[in-house]
Chain A
């Protein structure tokens, strides 16, 4: 059973471009979470999704950020018009109902 997969592992964008981060949960996991880790800081929750539904987006900035977890395919975290402050490591985690979360290796976004 493959673990949580994230791609790309590293992403470089110029200010104003769009960043699309993908997360494929573990097989059988229907719950996906996105977290962000700014340089030298702790992990902060962004959004929690189940298939086709956003359950909790209380940690996601209201503007420029969106997330989806379609019926088929990976979960996508999209950041529009990126700014330097978006540079961070973005981690995805998945879980079955009421169990621990399994994290992916992260996508390291650098905004030039």
Chain B
């Protein structure tokens, strides 16, 4: 799986939007961009994934650059419960159920 680069940490005020960036300059044409998050003392949790088009679900939005070399996870209104480590992961869509390769992720702090 191709490598991703994320900031080590970010901070946000409660009730404000948060934009979590991810660079993946060596992404291949069949790589999907997945986001997971890990709340303190819990297992990781799937957030969202996409290939080329922007994606929305009840948890977040995923904005994918036109050249696919970067993406941004958007939390529209951060809450204290969103404080977690966020992982941006590439998975080859041709390889079936490949294991996830976790990097260091971005530790998001939310300030009340």
Contact = CB atoms under 8 A, between A and B. Distances in A.
A100 B44 CA distance: 11
Nearest to B95: A98
B97 A105 contact: no
Contacts of B100: 33, 35, 43, 45, 93, 101
Contact of A44 (B42, B45, B49, B102): B102
A97 interface: yes
Interface residues of B, number: 17
What is the predominant secondary structure among interface residues of chain A facing chain B? Answer: strand
A42 B42 contact: no
B103 interface: yes
Interface residues of A, number: 24
A45 B97 CA distance: 13
A102 B42 CA distance: 12
Contact of A98 (B34, B46, B96, B103): B96
Interface of A: 4, 31, 33, 35, 42-45, 48, 56, 59, 91, 93, 95, 97-106
